[in-house]
Structure 1
Amino acid sequence: MLLCLSIDHHRIDLGILERIERHADELAAALGSLRAAGSSPGEPAQIRGSVPLITCNRFEVYLQVSSETGIVDAALDEIARITGLSREQLSRAMAVYLGGDVAEHLFSVSSGLESAVVGEGEISGQVRKSLEQARATGRVSSDLERLFQLATRTSREIKNRTELQSKGRSLVRLALRMAESRIGDWGSARVLLIGTGAYAGASLAALRARGAKHIGVFSPSGRAERFADSHVIDPVPASALDTQLGETDLVVACTNTRDPLLTSDQFARTTRPGRPPFCSIAPARSSTPRPRLLIDMGLPRNIDPAAAGVPGVELLDLETVVKHAPIPELSAEAEARKIVSEAAAEFLAGRAENAAVPTLVALRDHVGDILQDELTRLGRGSGADPAVEAALRHFAGRILHQPTVRLRELARAGGADDAARAVELLFGLGSGLGAVDEPDAADTPRDPRILASCGRRESRAASVTHPDGEASSLTSPPD
């Protein structure tokens, strides 16, 4: 069974989300090895695969579990223990997706439909990176692999077929648009970029699109020089950071850090009164501190909020940017959601088809054994004619073709158990051929907190009554 634990900007204050993301690595490891309360160490692990998805607006963990029983409660206990937040706060903030709703949610997230700026393009890259990182830890199950790959394909299809992502929407572009009233001349403004990750690359592209030319980059992890070389900007070493802060008109911070990287003291001691500004944030008077605009796109925060109290400094943080996110174009969003629904349905059908793999393998093995017996019998006489053997193998393939097609179709329609029973009755191949690890919907315990969606989509998705009909391709049997 697929399960997603989601805490995002739709359901929680960004300040609380920031507290959670300070412990992102520890939480991801803990949630990837959960056990329900009361389970013994000797019992098989409930978690068969996990992929964390952590961005500035969401903390999510996608799991493949043998059973949902007790997992949500165990997750709430772990998150509360690690973050110090109350279980009640977390229970209200967490949305839980099961089965097919996991696919629709991830595809919506990957396509930018659940972002603060609907249609923003960075999230699809973050989804791909999450899968790559989970692969490196060896925690990705085959079903999660297929799920995330299809999420990437769905995002690409939405980009190609709709106008949702055509205008380069992103939080950093929105932040820079909000900054335009403060930056008189982008070509002369001095800009310092903090961070070298994927979001830094997007920020750099957005800055250049507005005409920024004097751009430096600082990396707390020491990767500034490599990033600067590949993007043709100036690296800023740690020893020159304070000097650069004093000469900068705009700071765009977008790196991963547990605690604020830039402090109010740094901005206070680098204030230089009487210098003419490179941009028209404030009049050029000798008694006026050089004006600086700080854009903090990090969560957890990259810049100490107290920096906003330093004379000449204005701070634009993520929470402020999110509040100014525009209303999406409804037609493009509706078209994108239709594509998401179709992709989720295909994922479900594929995974349902996958449940017929044991039946198909047993049937083919049965026919193959009969064929081999006949070939052996022929070989005991005058020797099997190669042409006869080829004809028999071709005949066996022809006999198997139509039943194989029908069994796949039956499984895709949710009839994998019926297919197994039919093969069992016709060929006497034994019981349990169609058994899969997923419990039937009627046998699945329901958690009252389980939501099929969050925010504006709750009422639609909450009516889903069969969350267990997940799907994958027929290329491999279920885990």
Structure 2
Amino acid sequence: MLLCLTANHRNASFDLLEKLSIGAPSLATSLVTESDFIQGAVVLATCNRFEAYLDVDEPLTAAAALAAEQAIEVLAEASVVDVDDVRNTLTVLCGDTVAEHLFSVSSGLESVAIGEDEIAGQVRRALTTARVEHTTSSDLERLFQRASKTSRGVKTKTGLGGAGRSLVRLALDLAESRVTDWAGTTVLLVGTGRYARASLAALRDRGVTNVRVYSPSGRAANFAASHQLQAVAKAELVEAIAASDVIVTCSTAPTVVLTAEQLNAAADIEGAVERRLVIDLGLPRNVDPAVSTVSGTELLDLETVSLHAPLEELNAESHARALVGEAAAEYRASRAEAEVAPAVVALRSHLFDLLDDEIARARSRGDSSDETERALRHLVGVILHTPSVRARELARTGGTETVFAAVEALFGLQASPAVAEAVVASTLPLTHRAPGA
């Protein structure tokens, strides 16, 4: 059974999301190694959501509830958050709703900026991380691979992907009223990762040419060289702040990078910019909230951005949600087909075993030929075709139990559900299978 524990900008404060993101890196491994029920985990932590996708090895509701509670306790401990706060904030999804939720998330339909570009890549990277840490499972592999396929379909078939919207661009849209001339604006970019590249591209689209970059981890020089920017050393940071009209922070540093003390020190430098806009896109936050108390400084953080998110383009979103719904329905149907695989495999094995026995007897009497054997095997395959197709059709319409009952009643065969997992797992690329699969 699949579970999803989700907290996002709609049901959680950014302070709590920030704390959950701190505990995210070690969570998947802890869940898989410490839980009695969880055999796979993929954690997705972004600037406006935290989600843990779990594969529970028991189909019973009671087991799912225990797995969810174990996950909540592990997450609370890793994030140093009261367990009741985590429990009261997280929404727990299970079964078929998990797929539709992830497909919607990966397509950008649950983001602050509807249709944002970054989320699809973040979903893919979450799965890659789980593979590296050996916490994924066959079911989670199929779920996330289908999510990526769905997001690509939504992007190409609807208008959501055409505008290239993102949280970065939404933040800069909100900054328009504070910036009179982007071309004449001096910008300090803090961070050198994927979000920094997206931020730089968005700034240049608005005509910004004067950008310097600072990295808390010391990567500024390489980033600056590859993007034709000026790097800022740690000893030069306060002076760079003083000269900047806009500061955009998007670092993955676990602690704040900009403090009120640094801003005050910058303000005391002769010739310092009198009014400054700080845009904090980091999670955990890169900027001390006290920065907003510094004279002449305005702070635009993720929480403020989310409150001013514009209404989505209704037609494009409606089409996208329809595509997500179709993809989720097809995913459910394919899983239902997998559930009847044991019955189909048992029936095929039964008939071909009978055929092999008859061929062996014919050979012992000298009555068999290669041509006859090929014809008989082809005949059995033709006979099996219709019941195999019918079994999949029944599964798609909720008739899984009917298929098992028919195979047992007509042939006396009792199939094992474990066969289904083996059959479906064998279709995955070897590099994408869970350990031991």
How big is each residue's C-alpha offset from its partner over 1:119-151, in whole Å with a ceiling of 9 and x where there is no partner? 222111111111111111111111111111111
1:294 aligns to 2:278 (yes or no): yes
Is the 1:354–1:474 contact (alpha carbons within 8 Å) kept by the matching residues of 2? no
Q: Does structure 1 residue 109 correspond to structure 2 residue 109?
A: no
Q: Aligned residue for 2:310?
A: 326
How far is the alpha carbon of 1:290 from its aligned partner? 4.2
Q: Distance in 1 between matches of 2:250 and 2:28?
A: 21
3-state DSSP of counterpart to 1:316: strand
Equivalent-residue separation in structure 2 for 1:5 and 1:196 (angstroms): 30
Checking the alignment, whether the CA contact within 8 Å between 1:253 and 1:297 is kept in structure 2 is yes
Counterpart amino acid of 1:136?
V
Code of the aligned partner of 2:246: L
CA contact (8 A) 1:30 1:78 kept: yes
SS at 1:196 equivalent = coil
1:357 equivalent in alignment to 2:353: no
Q: Give the 3-state SS of the residue equivalent to 1:114 in structure 2.
A: coil
Q: Is the 8 A contact 2:188 2:214 kept in 1?
A: yes
Shift of 1:34: 5.1
- Paired residues of 2:23 and 2:75 also in contact (CA < 8 A): no
Deviations 1:326-354 (A, max 9, x none): 12222222222221111111111110110
1:62 and 2:53 are equivalent in the alignment? yes
Q: Any conservation in 2 of the 1:291–1:312 contact (CA below 8 Å)?
A: yes
With normalisation by structure 1, the TM-score equals 0.81
For the structure 1 residues 82 and 371, does the alpha-carbon distance in structure 2 shift closer, same or farther, using more than 3 Å as the test? Answer: same
Counterpart of 2:38? 47
2:412 maps to 428
Decide whether the 8 Å contact of 1:252 with 1:296 is kept in 2: yes
On the 8 A contact 2:106/2:148 being kept in 1, the answer is yes
- How far 1:61 sits from its partner (Å)? 0.1
**127-136 or 166-175: which moved more?**
166-175
CA contact under 8 A between 1:273 and 1:289: conserved in structure 2? no
**Cα distance change on mapping 1:423 and 1:228 into 2, 3 Å:** farther
1:264-343 map, 5 Å: 264-271=260-267, 273-275=269-271, 289-343=273-327
User: Are 1:348 and 2:318 matched, yes or no?
Assistant: no
In structure 2, C-alpha distance between the alignment counterparts of 1:201 and 1:7, rounded to whole Å: 26
The alignment covers a number of residue pairs equal to 424
Is 1:375 matched up with 2:359? Answer: yes
Task: Indicate conservation of the 8 Å contact 1:195/1:219, yes or no.
Answer: yes
* Aligned-residue offset at 1:220: 2.8
The answer to whether the 8 Å contact 1:117/1:326 transfers is yes
Match of 1:142 in 2: 138
Whose RCO is larger (CA < 8 A, sep 6+)?
1
Deviations 1:152-200 (A, max 9, x none): 1222222222222322222211211222233233223222222222222
The answer (yes or no) to whether the contact 1:34–1:71 under 8 Å persists in 2 is no
Give % identity.
Answer: 48
Q: Supply the AA of the counterpart residue of 1:77.
A: E
Counterpart pick for 1:199 among 160, 176, 195: 195
Counterpart of 2:149 (choices 146, 153, 159) is 153
Supply the distance in 2 between the matched residues of 1:137 and 1:363 (Cα, whole angstroms): 38
Match of 1:167 among 159, 163, 168: 163
Distance 1:380 1:218 in 2: 83
**Alpha-carbon spacing, 1:232–1:403, altered in 2? closer, same or farther (3 Å):** farther
SS at 1:139 equivalent: coil
Q: Any gaps of 5 or more consecutive residues in structure 1? A: 36-44, 276-287, 439-471
How many Å apart are 1:83 and its aligned residue?
3.6
Higher alpha-carbon deviation: 334-343 or 158-167: 158-167
Give per-residue Cα distances to partners, 1:368-399, cap 9 Å, x unaligned. 22232233334335484332232222222212
Equivalent residue number for residue 397 of structure 2 = 413
Amino acid across the alignment from 1:309: T
Match for 1:256: what amino acid? Answer: T
Q: Deviations over 1:80-138 (max 9, x none)?
A: 33444334333321111010111111111111211122222211111111111111111
Q: CA deviation at 1:239?
A: 4.6
Structure 2 residue runs of 5 or longer lacking an equivalent are none
- Structure 1 residues 191 and 317 mapped into 2: Cα distance closer, same or farther (>3 Å)? same
Cα RMSD after superposing both structures: 2.7
After superposition, give the CA deviation of every residue in 1:393-432 in whole Å (9 maximum; x if it has no partner): 2222212211111111122222222212212222223x24
State the 4+ residue runs in structure 1 displaced beyond 6 angstroms: 435-438, 476-479
Distance change (3 Å), C-alpha of 1:318 and 1:138:
same
329-338 or 383-392, which moves further after superposition? 383-392
CA contact (8 A) 2:224 2:230 kept: yes
**In 2, Cα distance between equivalents of 1:270 and 1:32:** 48
- Residues 51 and 140 in structure 1, CA contact (< 8 A), matched pair in contact too: yes
Which residue of structure 2 aligns with residue 21 of structure 1? 21
